[in-house]
Amino acid sequence: SSIDAPDGLVSGRVQQLLDSCIPSRLIQQDVLPLFDVRPESPFDFRSLMMPQRRYFSFRREGQLVAHLCDTNASFTGSDDVFWNLGFTNSSFAGEFSETLVQSLYRCPLIRGISFTRDDNWRTVWKLESEEDQDNHGLLAKLAGSLPPTISSITFDNTLNDYALSALTDILETMGRLSSSQNDDRDRGQRDLVSFGQKQGCFHSMAVKNSPCLGAGSWRKLFDLLGHSSGRSSSLKSHPLETLKVLDLSGNNLGDLTCSLVLKRALDKESGCSLESLDISRNNIGQGSHVAQVLRGYVSRYRQNQSAGIYVTKGSWKAPLAYLNLGSNHLKSAGLALEVIALLKHNALSLRSLDLSNNGLECQGYQFTDVLLGSLVKNTCLRHLNLSENEFSFQCIERVLDGLNRSDSHSGMAFLRFEKNTPPLTESQQRALNDFTHISRPIVLQRYLNDLDRKKSGEIDEIDALDDGPLTPLREGQPTFAKRPPLERTSSGHSESLFSASDATTAASDNGSRRPRKGENMITVLFSAPLVFRDEQNNLRPFAKLDFDMERELLWQCLKEARRDIELFFDNATHHRLLTAKAKRCSCLHYSGHGHHTHLPFENGKGGPHWLEVDVLRTLIEQNEGAPFKFVFVSACHSFLAGETFADAGVPHVVCCQQESEIKDAAALAFTRQFYLALAVGHTVKQSFDQGCKAVRATPNLRNAEGEMKKFILLPKNGNHDEAIFDDAKPLREWPRTAARSRSLQKQKSRRKGALTQDISRSRSIYLGGSRSSELSVRNMMQEDPSPTPPQFFLGREVDMYHVLNAVLMKRLVSVVGAKGLGRSSLVYALCHYVNERRSTIIEIDRIFFVRATQSRGSNRFVAVLQELLKRLMQDGTVAQQRYDDMDRESLIQAICKALNKVKALIVIDRTEFLEGSDEQQDLVVFLSNLFQETKTQHVRVLLTGLKPLGIPSVGGVPEQPYRLGPLNFHNTARLFGNLCPHLHTPADRRRFVDRIVTDSQQGDLFPGANGATGRTKSLFQILGNGIPSQIEKAAFSISLHDVGRLGTDDGTGTFAWN
């Protein structure tokens, strides 16, 4: 109906869905401009709506969100999609803020985040006032920690005065950092290519439905939008100057407070960049203060336009184009009439105006004449919403008749009178449709004309000619014309696509030297050995480090800087260090475990290579000068290693104090700000200072000053006023091949006509880019070698080490053990570990993972062969062919032929489903043929099952079984603590493990081991006996009360376990 579907665009149900996905109507309009003519808009969005509950962490949810983003991104094939992560009627505590930020860094596709409370909030949660206060404060502080990829944030009925004040303080602090970051010494280059979204700055923001907020809190927020003429301010920066969209609806601001924000938006000297403003439902009433601001703007800047004088130069137009004044009790006399009058001759240069639900009515002919006179003399207004008012039949009839008779070629594409009292008649609805049917092609043609003028340089931006008369369409002139595709930048604006090499050429100066190979290059060496040997020669696991976060962080820094800088990831072995040195790489970044006397590199087989500082110095010293311009040692206790690099001649080294461990939040803040500043051309000293300031300003970081002082710049007395990447040219898009590769992929997609069945599931770092280039940069063999291991996969480092070395030495290895021990999870983790060592594990080039399934019939092994052949075809190892009707012998022959010269690891999971039938013998036959027909040591096979094959030799290859056992006592407690829903934070889990495992020797014991105390045996049984599946069941079954009793004097297992 016309009520549910205004202007026939969306139904009421669709609008309800949109409101739940994107709670701000103004941000909706920015993403989905249903009432505007913006052909470049993709009208594409994804919204991930999280369950309504109390969140203490976002670790598990973050993993799921990352998987959904990766899977969906491979199907969309475009990065021009607005992704929003929404929370409704939820509360937050514990480590939620930290883990959410980490997840958002891993999911750069997500651009928006929203927090909403609706009428059901109080019935869902009954929080104490103190808990609710903490909830408000946590959300406010979160805004300062969000990655720069988040350009939109919404707070819908979720902030109080304290939270809004905290939000303002945090944004101001982050704004100062971004402001100093923008002081690029090379202004010419910065003008050529704008930087991406800065942390703490947003494209769109909504603070709505919060009538409890006081005027003082709002004034502090408005100060961040820009300067206020006639009012002194202590602010040195205005971080929201770049804000384009601001939704303040439903806050009961009143006339005076609304006028304050509107004054900044319409003041040339304020620096405010607002393009869309929603101040609906704010009880403006007569609006004398708002009217005064509007009159002042027209009088000061638009006097010629208000007099009907068309000028091409010397006239300033505010960027504000969308204004929503709906539901403000304006009535017909007063502000509403004045606003409509100012539309005449484009004096108030708006593209969209909303005056709906204001009780407007026609009082005589005055309102009608003013409305009609303004509309026929306006060429820039595209959307006018007069719905839910009380215009008489005669008033609407007069307006529509006047518009249809006018020859002014109005640009009004949307004129709305929905839910008017009385409703429009059928003849009036036809007249309205006739008018918009004529005006919409005019608006579109005007847009295309302006686009041509922008390309030719006549105007700087589209809609720059809104002040001028509209040229009518010539008879026979086409309404639509072919135009080059538009690409949307990270800040949301559109620009014509051109290659990165064009940008580099445009930026180059006459006579500028050409950078030598490796000069603008960052090599990142990751070190993650699995185990080490203690003093008793026992294998001990290394703690797992989050390299994915650091990798994504460095990638995003360079993407934001948009400079011609190469980035490579590699594994930290002494051979790869020498390779980086041979390439004359300008910047070396080491990330791994720290040590007081050594730097633990990898040995290529899962173990450590303890690189002594003297050996490290010998490796990197050279006679002709420093091998690297700069080294970043990202490890705790890294001072000695940093000194070693400095003593070897590296002029600039960043490291950590010798006795210090860096908190994750501090390391994240420092690394991001430091590399962003360094990449855009700042000196090492300036970049280091920027990183320290970012640590100090990090919300939710205890003792931020102390964390900041842990970072050290060496040599201490050195001259660090040198820019590492001062000659790195600006790019339109980073990496250099991204834009060109995306264009080529689009051409290929058009030629294919449709997506193929086997689409890659992982998000490409070069969105639409070259797959081989991406994998080379990431030092990976392939994208998805196997399913992802469980989030809390732990305690299996020693097992992985043994299996890895067995696979590297033998051709047939089987991991066997009882159900629930995690055989498959171990193999998943091993496949990913091998896959990320393309340059160091040279025995394997490809990994092909297949799984036997429990199904009826006698074709289970044939299904395994078909799946393996499918994997080979997806990889390009064998040509595409039909395999559905191939028999077993043909499948085996095709697979063996394809793998004849490939260094591959074949993984067959869950072979127990083939036991007890002829299909197990079929597996043996297949393996025999595979080993006999492929070159020695080229193909390796890894099996998982309940028991070994039990055959002395398979095709002349002996089987190497590895029996997987349960977890030890310490790892059992760790896994239980990570899985238990009653333990919310890392501190809670650490305290739990410390309470359970009071003796390190007991922690090393396995179930049934000699020497286990009665307490250990009892707790082992309660926690699941070291079997991961039983541990998971126990963790989710135990009550909060029983968790608190575990490990105490009266809680060692004396209570019954159900």
Amino acid at 771: R
Task: Indicate whether 420 pLDDT > 80.
Answer: yes
Q: How far apart are CA 644 and CA 653, in angstroms?
A: 10
Is residue 313 very low, low, confident or very high in pLDDT (cuts 50, 70, 90)?
A: low
Question: Which whole number is the average pLDDT over 255-279?
Answer: 94
> Of 115-129, 237-251, 370-384, 753-767, which range is least confident?
753-767
Which backbone phi and psi does 578 adopt, to 5 degrees?
-65, -35
Q: How far apart are CA 1032 and CA 42, in angstroms?
A: 44
Provide DSSP, 321-385.
-EEE--SS---STTHHHHHHHHTGGGSS--SEEE--SS-----TTHHHHHHHHHHHT-SS--EEE
Question: Which whole number is the average pLDDT over 993-1010?
Answer: 93
Question: Do the bridges between strand 486-488 and strand 494-496 make them parallel or antiparallel, or are there none, so unpaired?
Answer: antiparallel
Q: Is 497 helix (H, G, I), strand (E, B) or coil?
A: coil
Residue 242 DSSP symbol: G
Highest-pLDDT range among 193-202, 297-306, 408-417, 686-695: 686-695
Which burial class, exposed, middle or buried, applies to 718 when counting CB atoms under 10 A from its CB (0-12, 13-18, 19+)? middle
- Taking the CA of residue 768 as centre, how many other CA atoms within 13 Å lie in the half-sphere pointing to its CB? 20
Rounded to 10 deg, the angle between the 161-181 and 129-142 helix axes is 20
Q: What angle do CA 1046, 1048, 1053 make, to 5 degrees?
A: 50
Helix (H) or strand (E) holding 293: helix 288-301
What pLDDT score was predicted for residue 200? Answer: 60
Higher pLDDT: 497 or 243? It is 243
Q: How far apart are CA 968 and CA 7, in angstroms?
A: 67
Number of other CB atoms surrounding residue 489 within 10 Å: 16
Model confidence pLDDT, tens digit, residues 277-295: 999 999 999 999 999 999 9
What pLDDT score was predicted for residue 365? Answer: 75
Higher pLDDT: 596 or 625? It is 596
Model confidence pLDDT, tens digit, residues 718-759: 999 999 998 899 988 888 755 444 444 444 444 433 333 333
Model confidence pLDDT, tens digit, residues 889-914: 999 999 999 998 889 999 999 999 98
Question: Do the bridges between strand 598-602 and strand 608-612 make them parallel or antiparallel, or are there none, so unpaired?
Answer: antiparallel
Facing residues of 838 across strands? none
Task: Indicate whether 954 pLDDT > 70.
Answer: yes
Which burial class, exposed, middle or buried, applies to 371 when counting CB atoms under 10 A from its CB (0-12, 13-18, 19+)? buried
Is residue 835 very low, low, confident or very high in pLDDT (cuts 50, 70, 90)?
A: very high
> Of 26-30, 447-451, 471-475, 853-857, which range is least confident?
471-475
Is residue 110 very low, low, confident or very high in pLDDT (cuts 50, 70, 90)?
A: very high
Model confidence pLDDT, tens digit, residues 848-883: 999 998 876 667 889 999 999 999 998 888 888 887
Q: How far apart are CA 94 and CA 409, in angstroms?
A: 60
Please choose, from the candidates 578, 550, 569, the residue with its C-alpha nearest in 3D space to the C-alpha of residue 776: 569
What pLDDT score was predicted for residue 178? Answer: 58
What pLDDT score was predicted for residue 234? Answer: 55
Q: How far apart are CA 634 and CA 637, in angstroms?
A: 10
What pLDDT score was predicted for residue 1016? Answer: 94
What pLDDT score was predicted for residue 682? Answer: 93
Alpha-carbon distances of 904 from 524, 835, 893, rounded to whole Å: 27, 11, 17
Contacts of residue 264, Cβ cutoff 8 Å, sequence gap at least 6: 222, 225, 226, 227, 228, 270, 272, 274
Higher pLDDT: 477 or 180? It is 180
Model confidence pLDDT, tens digit, residues 662-711: 667 788 888 888 999 999 999 999 999 999 988 887 776 778 888 888 89
Place of tokens 């880019």: 769
Is residue 37 very low, low, confident or very high in pLDDT (cuts 50, 70, 90)?
A: confident
Place of tokens 């994107």: 22
Residue 680 DSSP symbol: T
What pLDDT score was predicted for residue 759? Answer: 30
Rg (CA), the chain: 33
Question: Which whole number is the average pLDDT over 784-798?
Answer: 90
Rounded to 10 degrees, the C-alpha dihedral 850/855/860/864 comes to -10
Amino acid at 1049: D
What pLDDT score was predicted for residue 328? Answer: 95
Residues 129 and 101: beta-carbon distance below 8 Å: no
What pLDDT score was predicted for residue 296? Answer: 93
What pLDDT score was predicted for residue 774? Answer: 60
Residues 747 and 756: beta-carbon distance below 8 Å: no
Percentage of the chain modeled with pLDDT above 90: 44
The percent of the chain in helix, strand and coil, each rounded to the nearest 5, is 40, 15, 45
Question: Which whole number is the average pLDDT over 972-991?
Answer: 91
Is residue 77 very low, low, confident or very high in pLDDT (cuts 50, 70, 90)?
A: low
Is residue 476 very low, low, confident or very high in pLDDT (cuts 50, 70, 90)?
A: very low
Contacts of residue 481, Cβ cutoff 8 Å, sequence gap at least 6: 448
Highest-pLDDT range among 42-46, 453-457, 648-652, 903-907: 903-907
Average pLDDT, rounded, for the chain: 81
> Of 23-27, 547-551, 1042-1046, which range is least confident?
547-551
Q: How far apart are CA 763 and CA 760, in angstroms?
A: 8
Question: Which whole number is the average pLDDT over 313-318?
Answer: 76
Alpha-carbon distances of 48 from 139, 370, 792, rounded to whole Å: 18, 46, 23
Question: Encoding tokens for residue 79?
Answer: 């990065």
Residues 794 and 825: beta-carbon distance below 8 Å: no
Residues 522 and 587: beta-carbon distance below 8 Å: yes
Helices (H), 125-243: 129-142, 161-181, 187-192, 215-223
Is residue 259 very low, low, confident or very high in pLDDT (cuts 50, 70, 90)?
A: very high
